[in-house]
Homo-oligomer: A and B are copies of this chain.
Amino acid sequence: MKNKLETKLAAQPLNFESFFSEKALEMKASEIRELLKLVETSDVISLAGGLPAPETFPVDIIKEIAQDVLTNHADKALQYGTTKGFTPLRLALARWMEKRYGIPMSKVEIMIVAGSQQALDLIGRVFINPGDIVVVEGPTYLAALQAFNYYEPEFISIPMDHDGMRVDLLEEKLEELEKQGKRIKFVYTVSTFQNPMGVTMSVDRRKKLIELAKEYDFLIVEDNPYSELRYSGEPVPPIKHFDDEGRVIYLGTFSKILAPGFRLGWVAAHPHFIRKMEIAKQSIDLCANTLAQVIAWKYVEDGHLDRHIPEIIEFYKPRRDAMLQALEEYMPEGVEWTRPDGGMFIWVTLPEGIDTKLMMEKAVAKGVAYVPGEAFFAYRDIKNTMRLNFTYVPEDKIREGVRRLAEVIAEEMKKLK
């Protein structure tokens, strides 16, 4: 077998590049993914990943529901479904959002997608013309940049602080753009326990953002995978809660509250937007996995979701605490980090002059990995930051990982002087 393959590869009579589309020629593998592949094969403590801990998956509940669904609903659960998604699930999610977030919601405002990553691609497809202005947070979710990038927007990156996006700076930018006769299409925000920073946009800023959207006539894409993972502080309503016009396109996901392997998310938005995204999805994959949808329906409808969330929180809270404590204990003065009330990530800022991407090799040599912050910025113009994950690795390893990391950083800082 191997020989056949080797022969085939060695022959290479085809000019592969000549077949690719221009956009495909520009596509590059995510450096981070490539980096992480290396880390996975060694015994490095990786704080780089973004995976939920498998211990939080409600395996027994899923097993029980799967049996029930395959016994009583196999016809539906194994057949093609509608593009919009399994209606009882859409209804259950509408009710759940209404109850949980106080957002009046009907099933015609809900579409099921194959993970919220698919929603990001659909949003690009449905809203972005080449050159359209899309506002993102600086830093923002890396895979959103990748998904939107295909559609060739012009990004504007708005700085963040401990209360989320600097909406005051956004306002300044909007005034400036208006003078130039330019309009923005939408603002993309991970509003709560942001990836990568872990910070949450304050209520005042949420309200202000809605006001600005009305004034300057743009949409808001609110990506909310983490808000249920709250370990301290008081819940903040989603931006969608303050939306009375249908300007907010809300993205939810089962990846952190059920299981990422299900590849199930949902879009909650005005039916006009849902309808267009539905048509776009038809030619992309017809529909999301129906078995997963029927299981997710039972999971929400029978109250398992609400019962299970506290268990996830109980599992993650000590990990967050361990990381915050270790950072406090080990990090040299001059290093700063966020103190998230929830989610999966902490954001670390080193003194200017340290390039975390260049530092990575030394860290891996010391037995610890992180994600260099650069790739989370639309223009990759900030080099001294990194993202740490606290959900996947147990407390003792988190402590040891942070200790090793602090050593590497201290060494780098010495060189600065």
Using CB atoms and an 8 Å cutoff, list the residues of chain A in contact with chain B: 1-2, 4-5, 8-9, 11, 13-14, 16, 18-24, 27-30, 33, 51-52, 54, 57, 59, 62-63, 66-67, 70-71, 74-81, 98, 104, 106, 108-109, 114-115, 117-118, 120-121, 125-129, 132, 143, 146-147, 149-151, 185-186, 217, 219, 244-247, 255, 259-263, 270-273, 276, 279-280, 282-292
Contact = CB atoms under 8 A, between A and B. Distances in A.
Contacts of A23: 125
Contacts of A9: 271
A283 B186 CA distance: 19
A115 B287 CA distance: 9
Stoichiometry, as copies per complex, reads 2
B104 A280 contact: no
Contacts of A286: 115, 117, 143, 263
7 contacts: A1-B98, A1-B106, A4-B106, A14-B270, A54-B79, A125-B150, A260-B290
B125 A21 contact: yes
Contacts of A149: 283
Contacts of A271: 9
Contact of A129 (B21, B29, B54, B59): B21
Contacts of A13: 245
A272 B10 CA distance: 12
A349 to B, nearest CB: 27
Given A78-B57, A80-B51, A19 B262 contact: no
Contact of A5 (B106, B217, B262, B280): B106
A261 B285 contact: no
Given A14-B270, A27-B280, 4 more contacts: A22-B129, A57-B78, A117-B283, A285-B285
A1 B94 CA distance: 10
Contact of A1 (B63, B104, B270): B104
A106 B5 CA distance: 7
A330 B270 CA distance: 49
Is chain A's binding surface mostly helix, strand, loop or mixed? helix
B288 A24 contact: no
A152 B245 CA distance: 34
A80 B261 contact: yes
Nearest to A119: B285
B74 A70 contact: no
A284 B125 contact: no
Nearest to A98: B1
A78 B62 contact: yes
A279 to B, nearest CB: 5
A78 B54 contact: yes
B283 A121 contact: yes
A140 to B, nearest CB: 14
A115 B262 contact: no
A123 to B, nearest CB: 10
A101 to B, nearest CB: 15
B276 A27 contact: yes
A378 to B, nearest CB: 15
Contacts of A246: 8, 14
Contact of A126 (B20, B77, B79, B262): B20
A105 to B, nearest CB: 8
A30 B283 CA distance: 10
A2 B94 CA distance: 12
Given A146-B283, A259-B78, A276 B24 contact: yes
Contacts of A128: 21
B291 A262 contact: yes
